[in-house]
Structure 1
């Protein structure tokens, strides 16, 4: 394909094998633990083979001073304050590595994380995903944690993409304004061009977080708008047989979640599933119809 044939390392000034990109936002306490795992001599990959870039969307406070004093080997850059997708792209702009390795500020990369990715770069894949292991019990009510033990997820907490290829496909879509679906959008676009290899040895550990029901409810409008954009962009309504079938499948899915959570006594999750049925799905359709009014009819 033309895109593949145009990709070579000559388009990027590669002074490292990897540029590790870490977006952050008001979480210095978690960021320090992540950076400790990436320190020269902690990672088994030689320090000269990688750089670490923290792209900081903080507004009230930033990590700049902390990084300057405690982590002089880390490059701090100010973020665009336009959401996590735009923040990752911002970090990539400053990268000098042949590959971009993305992780989150609350993740703990294993010592062999980059070395495992380095071995995988010897293959033909232009994109890689590593394993994400939970720290804590993900089966608690209202527990959140991305888990990827077998591949096929491409969660942005642990992925690597060839730098030139990332630029060629325009990186993350910054129209995704929250941390949801922006990595799946990138996965869809990558898989239209090339394969994604799973590297189980490239492990990061992600803490299990307990969120409140109120916080989940407050997310519904933005979550619905974000999902509407994703549905529209990738023509998911067409792929699911049209508007009626898509709507039926969506309600069936959340109704199934509602009964599942009741069955396993996770009543807070059940309440949220019920509220999303009542409010989230109608709000999603509102945004889809708004997109239609603005002239995008790709789901018809």
Structure 2
């Protein structure tokens, strides 16, 4: 890219010691793959790795992308770090384990023109195949209203004016929920762009430690926004669990047998823990 040209988009990709997944993501963003013109976007990889980094990978295979060292304070701080190097008028965020469609950036560019009253856009996030295990998870977004950090665009000036992601969130959980909540409180609505799609393949939910990190992130969220406790009470949490039980856990046990039962017990234990704390998980929007 000509350094004198200000790009429309700066694509921010936080990464942490997942070079194999990052390479697949970058393959989808190559100048000869994305349908948006090369001069219209830049790609910034902000790297929190310490045992290994992606610097060599990018220098050798993806010289059109910019590698920067992260702050090693978690995903929220890492995304903010990448944004500091951005030159684009708009920031577009995705994750290193996502696979953007060929028309991803072009779809956002069209939406910015067609829906000029909006300063925040979110795209569609879909999965690569049918679910094979109850423990598989993905931040699916087929209708909007989530603003998941793996697929959204925001005007850079707005992002900077609200100080970006809250760096008090040290784990990969709740930092995007917090950003969405703050934007909504300030009166900024997001527009859903179905054609701005990325694939987020199924991932294993992870061990107990990951679930506990999500719980800690929820506690941080409610300490920052105590008014949310008025809405997210025990009744809300119970209804959320019952919905999970009927729509996911019981069918999962029947389908996946022993593995499904083990995972169901894990979710039940986490539910009981959170009920005692009166802290519901906000990993997705619930509608009843």
TM-score range, shorter chain: 0.7 to 0.9
Bigger mean CA deviation after superposition, 192-201 or 76-85: 192-201
* 1:232-243 correspondence runs (5 A): 232-234=223-225, 235-240=227-232
Partner of 1:69: 60
Is 1:278 aligned to 2:272, yes or no? yes
* 1:39-54 correspondence runs (5 A): 39-54=30-45
Distance 2:246 2:265 in 1: 10
Partner of 2:244: 257
Tell me: CA distance 1:195–1:211, structure 2 relative to 1, closer, same or farther (3 Å): closer
3-state SS of 1:51 partner? strand
Partner of 2:23: 32
Moved over 6 A (4+): none
Write out per-residue CA displacement over residues 189-208 of structure 1, whole angstroms, 9 at most, x where no aligned residue.
11232221011111111111
Distance 2:131 2:111 in 1: 29
Distance 1:151 1:256 in 2: 20
Give the superposition deviation at 1:44.
Answer: 0.6
Bigger mean CA deviation after superposition, 36-45 or 275-284: 275-284
Partner of 2:188: 194
Distance 1:41 1:262 in 2: 43
Is 1:136 aligned to 2:123, yes or no? no
Partner of 1:3: none
What is the aligned-residue RMSD (CA, Å)?
2.0
Distance 1:117 1:27 in 2: 27
Aligned 8 A contact 1:225 1:284 in 2? no
Distance 1:15 1:150 in 2: 32
Distance 2:41 2:248 in 1: 44
Aligned 8 A contact 2:174 2:214 in 1? no
Determine which of 165, 172, 177 is the counterpart of 1:179: 172
Distance 1:189 1:53 in 2: 25
Distance 1:46 1:178 in 2: 35
3-state SS of 2:91 partner? strand
Aligned 8 A contact 1:109 1:203 in 2? yes
Q: TM-score, normalising length from structure 1?
A: 0.83
Is 1:267 aligned to 2:261, yes or no? yes
Number of aligned residues: 265
Q: TM-score, normalising length from structure 2?
A: 0.86
Tell me: CA distance 1:73–1:238, structure 2 relative to 1, closer, same or farther (3 Å): same
Partner of 2:284: none
Gaps of 5+ in 2: 254-259, 280-288
Gaps of 5+ in 1: 1-12, 241-245, 286-300
